[in-house]
């Protein structure tokens, strides 16, 4: 019985999301469950996302008090500032007003991408 001895273990390659751009576009849907949840139960989805961002759970419920949803707008700005994402307040206003659920989905995808970097294993010996 021949045994094979491993001389060198594969080293993990960590790919961190450190870009100055959003990782996904506003209409991109990488998780169908979350996209459906955000459309069919938008207030619940927004509240859970705000909580996961470190804000008050009920904060998104205040979005109904303005022409441009103030909480959606402030969450987009907060995400951009926290992760150094280059964008404009004008784009944030447009996305908050016209694409509320899509905007919250993008925020959630960004949080997942930046908080949970992807680990790939490099099997090539170096």
> What is the per-residue pLDDT for 29?
84
Range of the domain at 80: 68-115
Residues 3-8 have a mean pLDDT of 62
- Domain total of the chain: 1
Per the domain annotation, does 2 fall within a domain?
no
Q: Given this model, what pLDDT does residue 35 score?
A: 86
Does 102 fall in a domain? yes
In a domain, 11, yes or no: no
Residue 25 inside a domain? The answer is: no
Could you tell me if residue 20 is inside a domain?
A: no
Q: Is the pLDDT of residue 114 over 60?
A: yes
pLDDT value, residue 76:
95
Task: Name the average pLDDT for the chain.
Answer: 82
Burial class (CB in 10 A: 0-12, 13-18, 19+), 57: exposed
**pLDDT tens-digit readout, 29-86:** 888 888 899 889 999 999 999 999 999 989 998 988 777 899 999 999 999 999 999 9
In a domain, 59, yes or no: no
Per-residue confidence (pLDDT) for residue 46, from 0 to 100: 93
């Amino acid at each position: 019985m021949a045994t094979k001895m491993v001389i060198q273990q594969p080293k993990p390659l960590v790919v961190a999301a450190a870009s100055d751009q959003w990782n996904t576009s506003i209409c991109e849907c990488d998780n169908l469950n979350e996209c459906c949840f955000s459309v069919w139960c938008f207030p619940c989805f927004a509240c859970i996302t705000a909580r996961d961002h470190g804000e008050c759970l009920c904060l998104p419920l205040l979005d109904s008090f303005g022409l441009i949803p103030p909480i959606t707008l402030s969450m987009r700005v907060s995400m951009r500032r926290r992760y150094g994402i280059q964008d404009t307040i004008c784009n944030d206003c447009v996305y908050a007003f016209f694409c509320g659920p899509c905007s919250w989905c993008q925020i959630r995808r960004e949080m997942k991408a930046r908080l949970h970097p992807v680990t790939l294993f490099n099997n090539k010996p170096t």
